Homo-oligomer: A and B are copies of this chain.
Amino acid sequence: MAIWYKETQNDDDIILSSRIRLARNLKNYPFITKLNDEGREKIVKEIKKSVMSSNSVLKDMFEYTDITKTSPLERHLLKEERLISEDMVETKGNAGLLVDKDKNVSIMICEEDHIRLQCIYPGLNLEKAYDMADKIDNVIEETVDYAFSPQYGYLTACPTNVGTGLRASVMVHIPAINICGRMKGLADMLSKLGLTVRGLFGEGSEADGYLYQISNQITLGVSENEIIDKLKNAVESIVTMEKTLRQELKDNNLVAISDRVWRSYGTLKYAQSISGKEAKQCLSDCLLGKNMGIINTVDNINLKELMVLSEPAHISKAFGKDLKPEERDVKRAEFIRSII
Interface string of A265-285 (1 = CB under 8 A from B): 111011111000000000000
| A259 proximity list for chain B (CB < 8 A) | 271-273, 333
Chain B residue at smallest Cβ distance from A263: B271
Residues of A in contact with B, size category: 10 to 19
Q: Is A258 close to B, CB under 8 A? A: yes
Q: Is A330 close to B, CB under 8 A? A: yes
- Number of identical monomers bound together in the oligomeric complex: 2
- Selected from B258, B271, B330, the residue in CB contact (under 8 A) with A262 is B271
For the complex, give the distance between the alpha carbons of A120 and B222 in Å.
82
Chain B residue at smallest Cβ distance from A265: B270
Q: Is A1 close to B, CB under 8 A? A: no
For the complex, give the distance between the alpha carbons of A74 and B333 in Å.
45
Interface string of A86-100 (1 = CB under 8 A from B): 000000000000000
Q: A255-B330, A262-B270, A263-B266 are in contact. List 18 more A-B contacts (CB 8 A).
A: A255-B272, A255-B326, A256-B273, A258-B272, A259-B271, A259-B272, A259-B273, A259-B333, A262-B271, A263-B267, A263-B270, A265-B266, A265-B270, A266-B267, A266-B269, A266-B270, A266-B271, A269-B270
6 A-B Cβ contacts within 8 A? A255-B326, A255-B330, A259-B272, A263-B266, A265-B266, A265-B270
Which residues of A are at the interface with B, using a C-beta cutoff of 8 A? 255-256, 258-259, 262-263, 265-267, 269-273, 326, 330, 333
The 3 A-B residue pairs with the shortest CB-CB distance in the complex, in nearest-first order = A266-B266, A266-B270, A259-B272
